[in-house]
Amino acid sequence: MPDIEIKRGYEVLPDNNVRFGIKVINNSEFLIVDVNVILDYSESLFKLDGSTIQNLGIINSTVPRTAEFILKPLGCIHRVEITATVRYKDHTGKRHTLDMRPKEVHCVCPFLKGKPINRCEFFELSESGHTAEAGLNFQGVDAIRLTSFLVHTVKIEKAYYLGNYEVTQKQWREVMGINPSNFKGDNLPVENVSWNDAQDFVKKLNEKEGTDKYRLPSEAEWEYAARAGTTTRYSFGNDDSDLGDYACYNYNSGRKTHTVGQKQPNPWGLYDMHGNVWEWVQDEWHSDYDGAPTDGSAWEDGSNSYRVWRGGGWISIAGFCRSAQRDTRYSIVTGDHFPYLGFRLLQEV
């Protein structure tokens, strides 16, 4: 048995906040000290009530300790992955770091507030092994079936080219004359650009090239290219452990962007479709695909000013780099800027 044992669980609270618990058990005969639990979650989906790090101090061999974090969802979340790291010193003073694989949290849905929810007891990180999602029941709809509602089939009607790489800072500067990026480098992806900024770039590039063929991809066009004929979580398969070969994300990014094209491409030769920077697409944000176009065109019905991002970025956990992952932030309008948000170009044929 390892010296340290970690158990996790969560509860969806009546106010739709999520209580995420991490229990640390000392199985050795010695004290462990300087125990810190570090939560890793998507800042684009949750606001954390408190600090990312909880210091549990000393844990002896008879009294386990639990760190609890309260996460406030910023929108409707059907499924998301949360992970954590535990750091400590053993009795010899040697430092250890244990990274836990992501845990899926299901059905944090404010729009369902007031509907009956059957919950099991909060996991309490007990020996029972029951997780909170096992008790979720939204009027007879289980968590797996609920997430499946997001599947949307389209038929791409028109051929197109999609950039092999995310738009770089050099390309941006050649068109716009400035570089707004937080992380500087000609071959790094441009970031800190809003959806409106991307539209300005497209307009000026078209004028410079004497064409009207450049634009942002629609959400469907982006995902079709990202999947490259696959139906797995990622274009290379389902195993998160392989993601580092294809993506710059939170486990290998060093909290910054990386030069485009350094990771392996997807089966169609497109680089960084997983990770590096989130990518703007043309569509307005809708919480599901009910009413979305089926021809691959962008969904722009004028209902809101929020726009969709795809692909994950250097800040993202593995699950947020999936081919199907889509995101926005309810505090983001089309004029806001973030150092993990860029785009790539589509050229019409």
Question: How confident is the model over 308-339, as pLDDT tens digits?
Answer: 999 999 988 888 898 988 887 655 677 778 89
How many Cβ atoms from other residues are within 10 Å of residue 343's Cβ? Answer: 31
Q: Which residue has the tokens 């959806």?
A: 195
CA angle 39, 45, 217 (to 5 degrees): 130
pLDDT digits (tens, 9 = 90+) for 280-302: 999 998 877 778 898 999 999 98
pLDDT band for position 120 (cuts 50, 70, 90)? very low
Q: What's the whole-number mean pLDDT along residues 221-230?
A: 92
pLDDT band for position 107 (cuts 50, 70, 90)? low
Closest by CA position to 313, among listed 217, 191, 231: 191
Which one of 29-38, 100-109, 124-133 scores highest in mean pLDDT? 29-38
pLDDT band for position 153 (cuts 50, 70, 90)? confident
CA 301 to centroid of chain Cα atoms: 25
d(CA 318, CA 309): 16
**Strand 4-12 versus strand 341-342 pairing type:** unpaired
The structure's pTM equals 0.62
